[in-house]
Amino acid sequence: MMGIDFSGRKVVVCGGSRGIGRATALGFAAAGAAVSICARGADQLEATRQELAAHGNLAHAGVCDLADADAIRAYIAAAGAALGGIDILINNASGFGMTDDAAGWAAGFHVDVMAVVHASQAALPFLQKAETPAIVSVSSISAYRPSGRSAPYAAVKAAVVQYTSSQAMMWAKQGIRVNAVAPGSIEFPGGSWEQRKEQGSPVYDAVLKSIPFGRLGHPEEVADVILFLASPMSRWVTGQTIIVDGGQLLFS
């Protein structure tokens, strides 16, 4: 990643076993960081942890339901202890609340919004001790347009954009930078877009036509921007959300 060196840095990726989270964790590990990841699925989590460890740096993993505030606090404490501190926090998880009902809203609110709040607050004492601390959260281009298909998801991702700017304002005097990325449609093995493609979903075809480069994005293309935002290369950037969508939002 453009020669960025994260040697000696301690990184926590919430929701780090697959997709964007996995690509981000692997990117940090390849750049020399010690990395901790969490997710609900123990098997996939351990497989990703082993991939991280193959880079020769400390790799820690903890099973955690990111809809559970107590579980988040316990995981962050364990990650901080295992890594010897936390310099960078990545908030990546989503509850994918799509249906406009109580269940859809609860899934989005508890994971997409409150997990960011709980993880950030739990990591704050560690970040305050770090030399160049940073938080990067993952929103979505859905935050920037109305959605008749997934109203709760769009609303909670908009909340992540807003909370990112508020966190940046609150914590700037403590030297903590806070930014976010807003990915477009990202395809990876086992992900929802691959499933739609295999099912021949018209939604997949419509989205594909809306992207001027003629393909969906890859997790690594989002991860590279996350690493940039967490690095000294973006040392004068805070409170921003960077859209990473190959022009999808412009043309859809």
pLDDT confidence band for 27 (50 / 70 / 90): very high
pLDDT exceeds 80 at position 79? yes
pTM beyond 0.85: the answer is yes
| Marked catalytic residue, from 157, 163, 204, 231 | 157
**153 noted as active-site residue:** yes
- Taking alpha carbons only, the member of 81, 84, 54, 68 closest to residue 14 is 68
Q: Cβ contacts of residue 10 below 8 Å, gap of 6+?
A: 33, 34, 36, 80, 83, 84, 85, 86, 87, 88, 130
**209 noted as active-site residue:** no
* Residue 251: inside a domain: no
* Residue 2: inside a domain: no
* Residue 206: inside a domain: no
Please give the structure tokens belonging to residue 156: 């909670």
Q: Give me the domain span that covers residue 177.
A: 10-187+218-246
| Average of per-residue pLDDT across 105-129 | 98
* Residue 133: inside a domain: yes
Q: What is the tens place of the pLDDT at every residue in 147-167? A: 988 999 999 999 999 999 999
pLDDT exceeds 70 at position 21? yes
* Residue 212: inside a domain: no
Total structural domains within the chain: 1
Rounded Cα gap, residues 147 and 143, in angstroms: 9
| pLDDT for 2 | 56
Q: What percent of the chain shows pLDDT beyond 70?
A: 99
Helix, strand, or coil here: 167? helix
Q: What is the tens place of the pLDDT at every residue in 173-215? A: 999 999 999 999 999 988 888 889 888 889 999 999 999 999 9
| Marked catalytic residue, from 120, 140, 142, 150 | 140
Distances (CA, A) of 53 to 38, 56, 79, 204: 15, 5, 15, 35
* Residue 209: inside a domain: no
| Marked catalytic residue, from 94, 120, 137, 139 | 139
Q: Which residues of 25-46 are buried (b: 16+ CB within 10 A; e: fewer)?
A: bbbbbbbebbbbbbbbeeeebe
- Taking alpha carbons only, the member of 21, 8, 75 closest to residue 48 is 21
Helix (H) or strand (E) holding 225: helix 219-230
| Marked catalytic residue, from 36, 142, 153, 204 | 153
* Residue 239: inside a domain: yes
Task: Kindly calculate the radius of gyration of the chain based on its CA atoms and give it in whole angstroms.
Answer: 17
* Residue 1: inside a domain: no
**144 noted as active-site residue:** no
Here the CATH number for the domain that contains residue 34 is 3.40.50.720
- Taking alpha carbons only, the member of 31, 32, 29 closest to residue 61 is 29
**139 noted as active-site residue:** yes
Cα dihedral 17, 119, 226, 215 sign: positive
Q: What is the tens place of the pLDDT at every residue in 230-241? A: 999 999 999 999
